[in-house]
Amino acid sequence: MSVDLKSLWRETFRARWEAAGGHYYQAADREALGSLLAQAWGELVTGQTLSGRVVYWVPPAVEDWPWETWLHRAGAQDLFKWDATADMRSRAAACDVGLTGALWFAAETGTVAIAQGPTMGLLPTVLPPVHLIVVDAASVVPTVQEGLKQLQAQGSLPPMLKLISGPSMTADIEGTLVVGVHGPGKVGVIVYGVGDGG
């Protein structure tokens, strides 16, 4: 029952996220993740005049996966792993791609929730022109309301939580829609563990 529900929510998420201008990929298993990263890189990064510098952090649960290998294979040049003990501002600003994990993603609004924390930073979500988000398929929730309720139920809130529902955009000049104002113009969500019954 819950399996079906979650795959339905993921479908809704995908529709809403793509309607907002986001890109969506889902990997059945860990092995597929590497090639999906390459595909996402090809669609979001390649072709833009970008140097391929990446700032990244991934959720603790999947930290031991071969992210560096995958990223290099996808086309990344330099990799900066998020280091919470150093000032990351100028380093993140010099990168073209930010890769981060996420707490959960919500179907109805097509939203991804990302928290600031001791090992997780928000600058990679907003400084580079491309933002890739890797998220566990099982963490899908039907609505932002539900995700926020779960977060509160866990006890303590992160100092900063960000809900992302599409690329950075504006209509401030004559009402014309333009993406990529201050934040990324390209955002991609890569869902992993879809085949794990998540």
- Distance, in Å, from the CA atom of 187 to the CA atom of 24, rounded to the nearest integer, reads 9
Sequence-separated (6 or more) residues with CB below 8 Å from residue 160: 115, 116, 122
| Residue with the two structure tokens 């100028």 | 90
- Distance, in Å, from the CA atom of 168 to the CA atom of 182, rounded to the nearest integer, reads 7
Please, what is the Cα angle at 54 between 52 and 58, to 5 degrees? 145
Which CB atom, from 3 or from 8, has the smaller least distance to another protein?
8
CB of 187 to another protein, least distance (A): 9
Which CB atom, from 26 or from 109, has the smaller least distance to another protein?
109
CB of 32 to another protein, least distance (A): 28
CB of 73 to another protein, least distance (A): 27
First-to-last C-alpha distance (Å) of the chain: 12
Which residues sit at the interface with another protein, rule CB under 8 A?
16, 20, 82-90, 92-93, 108-111, 116-118, 121-123, 125-127, 144-145, 148-149, 152, 157-176, 178, 180-184
Which CB atom, from 31 or from 154, has the smaller least distance to another protein?
154
Query: How is residue 72 written in tokens?
Result: 């290099």
CB of 33 to another protein, least distance (A): 26
Which CB atom, from 138 or from 148, has the smaller least distance to another protein?
148
Which CB atom, from 13 or from 192, has the smaller least distance to another protein?
13
Query: How is residue 101 written in tokens?
Result: 């994990």
Which CB atom, from 35 or from 78, has the smaller least distance to another protein?
78
Burial of 2 (0-12, 13-18, 19+ CB in 10 A): exposed
Nearest to 31 by CA among 197, 140, 198, 192: 192
Side chain identity, residue 119: T
CB of 57 to another protein, least distance (A): 10
CB of 148 to another protein, least distance (A): 5
